Amino acid sequence: MKRLRGVDTFVRLLRSSIRRRLCTPFADTRVRATRLLLIAIVLSPALAHAYAGPGAGFAVLSSFWAIFVAFLYSFYALMTWPFRQLFRFLRRRNAYGKATFERAVILGFDGMDPELADRFMKEGRLPNLAKLRDKGTFSKLRTTFPAISPVAWSTFMTGVNPGKHNIYDFLACDRNSYLPYLSSAEIKGPKRHIKIGKYSIPFGKTEIKAMRKGTPFWHWLGNAGIFSSVIRVPVTFPPEKFQGVLLSGMCVPDLKGSQGTFCLCTTRASDDKFREGGVRVPIERKNGVCRSYVPGPDNPVKRNAGDVRMEFELKPEVESKQARFTVGSEKFTLKIGEYSEWITAEFKAGMGFTAHGICRFYLKEISPEVEVYVTPVNIDPGHPDLPISHPVTYSIYLAKLFGPYATLGLAEDTWALNEHVLDDDAFLAQAYGNHEDRERMLFDALDKTKQGLCTCVFDTTDRIQHMFWRYLDEDHPAARDVPHSEHPQVIQDLYQRMDRLIGRVMEKIDDDTLLMVISDHGFKSFARCMNLNAWLHQNGYLALKDDKTESGDWFEDVDWSRTRAYTMGLNGLYLNIKGREKQGIVDPSEVEALKAELQKGLNGLVDPASGTVGITGVFIADNVYRGPYTENSPDLIVGYGAGYRASWDSVMGKVTGQIFEDNMKAWSGDHCIDPRLVPGVLFSSHKFIEEKPAIVDVAPTILKLFGLALPAHFDGKAWTLAAKAR
Amino acid sequence: MVVLFGYTSDQKAIGIAKDQLKAHLLAVRLYRDQIPVVMGSYGKILRGTGRYLKLAFKPLLYVIVPITLLMVQIDRYLGQTPIPVNAPFLLTVHVGGQMTGNDTLNNVALELPPEIAMTAPAVHVPSENQIVWRLAGSKDGKYEVKITGAGKSVEKAVCLGSGLPRISTVRLRGQFWERMFSSAEPALPENSPIESISVNYPDRDIDVAGYGMNWIWLFFILSMVAGFIFKEVLGIQI
């Protein structure tokens, strides 16, 4: 479904509609008659004409109210502006006085791979990136250990290694329960509740605790009086206060508090549960009308009431291959294979508690069975129940300006594609829909930030490479049964699309602006999975209860009293240390020896099926991290070889019988491997002299370019501009 | 009216226009230290306001007809009060057509019911072709006064007392639009020399919290409140 968003589209449509009307044969007569009628009514001298109904009243009042408020504020702003400027001048003398550039624009293309970029540039497919390469810099950008987005982007913004910002993976391990928790933020409901019968009314505020430590470099800029617009940089939830505007990105939860739970409403009876990321909801069909619901957050007021639901109905029209939907007060029609616009979803829990979200409906089929996919319910940016921006009004501003947009950290529903709930086309439509919204936000930020920092991270590059690498790698197991002609160019198209975006950004900037395009890591094929827990089990480091040969999720059948090492998450390997883990057995004096033993055993591990090395490096955390939070890091970081990655089961703490297996999922490309194999990219409009730039260097480089002193705790070093580039 | 507004307006466009206005207002706040951005936002607010008014204009055309007729009718009841008993009031007759000049005015006669009496001699205003009588009523009720000129008689209703009767301040000959909005009586015959007969009823003030106000203001406030409530209930963008 074509999404009619944005003023330009609207105004264009309105204009064309007016033009069409004026071109009809009787337009003039009708217009004249209308004018005469109006004049007659308006000139009739009766008191009643002073007012013509609430509609007119609202229109006039609202218009004048808007103008009145605007001018009142403008008057205030204008009158106080000199004083505020003077105050700022005195406090932050000459913020831009030592700056090399008036403005820095940093575009983050999550996962853009330097080898692919180089290949496409050589083929002449990326003319704008090639211009940057020729005029300024093109280089590989060393990533973090491990090469995972939340880790790398945290390092990007803080200029420090993970030991100082405390993010080592999407998930962190609770040493007491051996269960995972989200590494970036902790959300706790209100502490106090008033209990009345079956109701438990929360009293107080929801607490959101940022787990990422360190100070983003835009805070340093803000302290010096330099304004920043920061859009969708990962691990910026919860948003922190600084001088500028920020919209949080990766790690923002959905309304259920998860990292994205889609919903498949279906008339097909099935007890199957999705492995992750989704729920199946039945559709009840009666007299040609189908009724179902979208599950929302847990009921905050009624104890043990389960989740709050938003009901909807649809009427399939088989002949026209469409269905009419009624969701709350909204009515819309979807054809098969079509997405709705963002629909407001209100989840009423009773006692006046309502959660506000937005979601999109996708009609999969209507005959003989009916199936509707619903995106995870995103926090409504126009009515955020949790803060997703700084200031809070920034997300509202963007929602009012461009319409509702995806706010979920991982907004592109990769799980739905993995689970075959969405097909390739539906996934691409969703991903590019979100991408277009972010492009609009970027260009608005560019217009509004003529001085200072403007940075925006696009996830599209990451998600599409994850899901479509199988078409780039002819031998990929997930592509065996799929005709290659379906989407052979999807990644190439993606890079070209990003290149066109660069072109449009370049038109908006002048020589006083530094443009940097960076990625947090590159990409490689993910053809083979490795269950590290299985290897630990088979090699005597991990024991199972009652001599079982496999364990369920989250170490369900693991015997901790005999387990020395375990893994969860993507690259971390943990020792079960006495005094640190609740049921730890490894004596602290044996830790170093055990680390060395594991490093030796895993490094160079060969996949017997192919004879290829599955693990090319195992890194001892103490050697790669330093800082106050190293105690939270895994003990070893496992670097898989190209084509390999931790298996889906291993990530979830499951122990299987097999160590290596084919990856049959659509999620076919990855970067959670040996960080030395997946560097990111660095392009810049001005030439830097630096042989081995790293993502940790970006923060110090920007501070230096704005003439600020570098904080002593920074791990990165500032790059030097080539003399000609100054 | 809210429903009518909802059906006759481009709800989506109005929603977008309102959101855009709010966005530009927020921009003024978000980028308050960047004067070019603030000034640009003011410009956009002005343009947005124009666009919003333009969008509200079409439904206004539809709404204005029934609402005007409704208000005219309400004004009959709430615009004026009946003339209190024993209070003097003026009855003005405007003569037109071929009957002009003081002599012709002398030929116009007034015939009153027993409950209404003349309290002063008629005043002739030849330059305006008018005769004005000062009258007073002695009993509540609705009465007809008869005016005769050039051998033809016409009547005009006069309300005395209190309550909420339907009041017509004027009776007119021809003048369709004027009759539509001001008169609650049938037109005077076309062949009558009398053009209009009016009574100066006192304006009605409605007491709200000790403050007397014309009904139109009260209607304005109440309809706005009702509009706010119903637009939410009906999910209509105004």
Check: CB of residue A690 under 8 Å from CB of residue A165: no
pLDDT band of residue A4 (cuts 50, 70, 90) is very low
pLDDT band of residue A668 (cuts 50, 70, 90) is very high
Say if the Cβ atoms of A84 and B33 lie within 8 Å.
Answer: yes
Separation of first and last alpha carbons in chain B: 11
Residues on chain A touching B178 (C-beta within 8 angstroms) = 44
Tell me the Cα Rg of chain B. Answer: 26
pLDDT value at residue A215: 97
pLDDT value at residue A26: 34
CB contacts under 8 A, B 17-36 vs A, are 18-36
Residue A1: pLDDT above 80?
A: no
> Token pair of A570, please?
């993507």
Cα–Cα distance, A282 to A726 (Å, whole number): 63
A69: nearest CA partner in chain B: B25
Nearest to A397 among B26, B53, B181 (CB): B26
ipTM for the complex shown: 0.83
Q: What is the mean pLDDT of residues A57-66?
A: 59
Share of chain A above pLDDT 90, in %: 76
Cβ of residue B210 closer than 8 Å to a chain A Cβ: no
Taking alpha carbons only, the member of B71, B69, B81, B65 closest to residue B166 is B81
- Of A79-83, A650-654, A682-686, the poorest mean pLDDT is in A79-83
Residue A48: pLDDT above 60?
A: no
| pLDDT 10s digits, B12-41 | 899 999 999 999 999 999 998 888 898 899
Nearest CA distance, A425 vs chain B (angstrom):
28
Cis peptide before A693 (omega within 30 of 0): no
Check: CB of residue B172 under 8 Å from CB of residue B128: no
Write down the residue that tokens 């003030």 correspond to. B205
pLDDT value at residue A20: 35
Say if the Cβ atoms of A403 and B182 lie within 8 Å.
Answer: no
What region, left, alpha or beta, does residue B68 occupy, with left being phi > 0 and alpha being psi -120 to 50 degrees? alpha
Q: What pairing do the DSSP bridges indicate for beta strands A262-266 and A278-282?
A: parallel
What's the one-letter identity of residue B227? G
Looking at chain B, the number of H-run helices and the number of E-run strands are 6, 10
E-assigned strand segments in A502-559: 513-518, 524-530
pLDDT value at residue A520: 98
Cα–Cα distance, A569 to A184 (Å, whole number): 14
Residue B14: which residues within 8 A CB-CB, separation 6 or more?
B52, B55, B56, B237, B238
Nearest to B60 among A56, A398, A403 (CB): A56
pLDDT band of residue A374 (cuts 50, 70, 90) is very high
Say if the Cβ atoms of A70 and B25 lie within 8 Å.
Answer: yes
**Three-state secondary-structure class, residue A622:** helix
Cα–Cα distance, A291 to A310 (Å, whole number): 11
Cα–Cα distance, A498 to A503 (Å, whole number): 9
Taking alpha carbons only, the member of A45, A146, A41 closest to residue A570 is A146
Residues on chain B touching A61 (C-beta within 8 angstroms) = 224
Is residue A281 classed exposed, middle or buried when 0-12, 13-18 and 19+ CB atoms within 10 A define those classes? middle
Share of chain B above pLDDT 70, in %: 97
Is residue A454 classed exposed, middle or buried when 0-12, 13-18 and 19+ CB atoms within 10 A define those classes? buried
Q: Provide the sign of the torsion angle of the four alpha carbons A183, A217, A684, A104, taken in this order.
A: positive
Contacts of A543-551 with CB under 8 Å at 24 or more apart are A544/A655, A549/A657, A550/A654, A550/A655, A550/A656, A550/A657, A551/A653, A551/A654, A551/A655
pLDDT value at residue B132: 95
Check: CB of residue B188 under 8 Å from CB of residue B152: no
pLDDT value at residue A14: 29
> Token pair of A234, please?
């990962």
Say if the Cβ atoms of B5 and A69 lie within 8 Å.
Answer: no
pLDDT value at residue B195: 92
Q: What is the mean pLDDT of residues B187-194?
A: 90
pLDDT value at residue A54: 52
Q: What is the mean pLDDT of residues A32-38?
A: 47
Say if the Cβ atoms of A450 and B29 lie within 8 Å.
Answer: no
| pLDDT 10s digits, B148-173 | 988 889 999 999 998 999 999 999 99
For chain A, residues classed under CATH 3.40.720.10 are 96-167+212-253+386-523+678-726
Q: What is the mean pLDDT of residues B211-237?
A: 84
Query: A96-167+212-253+386-523+678-726 — its CATH code?
Result: 3.40.720.10
Cα–Cα distance, B12 to B18 (Å, whole number): 10
Q: What is the mean pLDDT of chain A?
A: 89
Residues on chain A touching B227 (C-beta within 8 angstroms) = 54-55, 57-58
- Of A59-68, A474-483, A571-580, A624-633, the poorest mean pLDDT is in A59-68
